[in-house]
Amino acid sequence: MAAEGAFYTGQYRNLLAELGYSEEAIGKRLNEAWEALFEGGEETRIYYPVGEDLGYMLDTGNLDVRSEGMSYGMMMAVQYNNKDVFDRLWKWTYTYMYMTEGLHAGYFAWSCNTDGSRRSNGPAPDGEEYFAMALLFASHRWGDEEAPFNYGKQARDLLSTCIHKGENGSGYPMWNPQNKLIKFIPDCEYSDPSYHLPHFYELFALWAYPEDRAFWKEAAEASRDYLPRSCHPVTGLAPEYAHYDGRPNNDKGYGHFFSDSYRVAANIGLDGEWFGRDERLGGIVNRIQAFFADKEPEDYRRYRIDGEPFEEKSLHPVGLLATNAMASLAATGPHAETAVRLFWNTPVRTGARRYYDNCLYLFSLLALSGSYRIWKPSE
């Protein structure tokens, strides 16, 4: 990869401004999107403060609180420089989701009720990796305080658990120790392509405990090698679950392009923005954008990864068009501008299914405006 990414240059590409949208309009959209998700009415809000110092992100389609959403909310809050929201989310997470005993001690329960009672004692690795990255950014942006707000230590401890769990007894690591690929859940041996965040792992390789840094550097390269194996060579589409060799894993019906899969394009876009374009990954998003170029959001479907559509409609069309737009940060094909303009002309989603769509929407808006930033120490 070329070293033109923002990590090296400190310059974040504002693709919205490049396409002619004014700084005033972009700033207004950023403010409006935050207000809709975090402060708005019941048609758009997904964040709910609790008492003096807690808060949670609600999965409005399933009426639960997920480690995915809590970690997403923390990343949004640190990017928007909102320490109050960040600390409320983190304290809720640490109070109710963090497991101190049992097979998954050291991880976070992936699903809770809004009163904090657990629906599951199993973890989901996409939450852990976002928790760790958001905590490191918080440590660098705001400084560390007393536990549990000693953000940096919390992040490094979590990353250590993710790769060393099970070495001295019960439990399973979240990354396969041989191939360095993230698992769908710790006690399985297959992956989810949308979990692969090589741009996060590059930073973990700098800021994790010294003994863990080589692992994360290898994990970054392993993920960049894995995505071309798991994405279809013609359409670019990824399955929700995939074997380590990249083949779709459809044992439980998740071997198709559906909700989880949308994040692959966004992740490639942010990796390109932060660390420079990788031609293999750029090719993937070029193909994804080409595949969707002749499709209208209201007709997005579940697809086999070769592009064959099912009758079933997409549950999250706004999330899909948002991630396809975010992919433009790594794309070189002819459909990048169209994808961004479609996103700009689409409002945040309302109604019962809004949670996942609007998380992806806000991340895309941050990235396309040059506002999804790497927070380094002492910045």
- Tell me the three state secondary structure of residue 209: coil
> What amino acid occupies position 164?
H
Assigned domain for 25 exists: yes
Assigned domain for 190 exists: no
Position 3 scores a pLDDT of 58
Number of DSSP helices (H) and strands (E) in the chain, helices first: 14, 6
Assigned domain for 11 exists: yes
Sequence-ordered list of residues with C-beta below 8 angstroms from that of 276, at least 6 positions apart, any chain: 1, 2, 3, 4, 5, 8
- Tell me the three state secondary structure of residue 352: coil
Position 378 scores a pLDDT of 83
Please give the structure tokens belonging to residue 305.
């990864």
Assigned domain for 65 exists: no
Assigned domain for 319 exists: yes
List the domain range (segments joined by +) for residue 302: 1-45+229-379
Q: Write out the catalytic residue numbers.
A: 68, 260
Assigned domain for 195 exists: no
Q: Does residue 175 contact residue 191 with C-beta atoms inside 8 Å? A: no
Summarised one tens digit per residue, pLDDT across range 315-372 is 999 999 999 999 999 999 999 999 999 999 999 999 999 999 999 999 999 999 999 9
Q: Domain with 358 in it: what CATH number?
A: 1.50.10.10
> How far is it, in rounded angstroms, from Cα 161 to Cα 129?
11
Q: Which residue has the tokens 């279809």?
A: 232
What sign does the dihedral 307-308-314-317 (CA atoms) show?
positive
Position 168 scores a pLDDT of 80
Assigned domain for 212 exists: no
- Tell me the three state secondary structure of residue 72: helix
pTM of the model: 0.97
Position 379 scores a pLDDT of 57
> How far is it, in rounded angstroms, from Cα 350 to Cα 336?
26
In this prediction, the residues of the chain whose per-residue pLDDT falls under 70 are 1-3, 379
Position 4 scores a pLDDT of 86
- Tell me how far CA of residue 224 lies from CA of 198, 201, 279, in angstroms: 7, 11, 11
Sequence-ordered list of residues with C-beta below 8 angstroms from that of 277, at least 6 positions apart, any chain: 1, 2, 4, 330, 332
> How far is it, in rounded angstroms, from Cα 65 to Cα 47?
10
What sign does the dihedral 247-195-160-162 (CA atoms) show?
negative
Domain count within the chain: 1
